[in-house]
Chain A
């Protein structure tokens, strides 16, 4: 089946530093990847849509300069949380849509970010 990985699985950083999270589709090519954020006891919130070779599309209220997304290849998208602050602490999850099977998204295992 389609497998999506994320790295790292968890990260702790100091306030003011930047953190990069990778999302990889391991056995398929993904023209589109999505980034979500999930706070404790809450649902997933879509942050942005990442298309290979083009600029990401951000949802309303999500700062593009704060959450930098790069989708340089058909198997890799990265999310960089710049100048992280404690309120950015959250569970970040990516998903990927197969190029040939457009209906289903496959989700990564998530990255837990804790900003001290």
Chain B
């Protein structure tokens, strides 16, 4: 299964944009990139996913590098409620399993 690498932690000020990076250098052409976030003692929450093109939804934007070896989750205006662990996951073609990496713990400062 392809692996992802994320920084252990990041900090952001409230109401500022946040760029959460993810490296996935072993990604194959048909692997989807998924982002979830998890608050303490809760199950992960879907944020966004994409394959090749950049994606936008009401929660965030996903910017995918042209070679697909990295991606960036963009929160346009961080709020205190965005403080969570963010996971970048590759969904391998042929299976619908998610293999979670270590994730990035985002701290939002008031």
Contact = CB atoms under 8 A, between A and B. Distances in A.
Interface in B43-70: 43-46, 49
A34 B97 contact: yes
Contacts, number: 54
Nearest to A4: B43
A45 B45 CA distance: 16
Given A43-B87, A43-B103, A106 B46 contact: yes
Given A91-B41, A109-B42, A112-B41, A43 B102 contact: yes
B41 A110 contact: yes
Contact of A43 (B34, B46, B101): B101
A38 to B, nearest CB: 9
A102 B41 contact: no
A109 to B, nearest CB: 5
A43 B100 CA distance: 7
B91 interface: yes
Contact of A105 (B42, B96, B99, B101): B96
A102 B95 CA distance: 10
Question: Which 5 residue pairs across A and B have the least CB separation, nearest first?
Answer: A107-B43, A44-B100, A43-B100, A107-B44, A93-B43
23 contacts: A4-B43, A34-B97, A34-B98, A36-B100, A43-B103, A44-B100, A45-B100, A46-B98, A46-B99, A49-B96, A49-B97, A93-B43, A95-B43, A95-B44, A97-B96, A103-B34, A104-B34, A104-B46, A107-B36, A107-B43, A107-B44, A107-B45, A109-B42
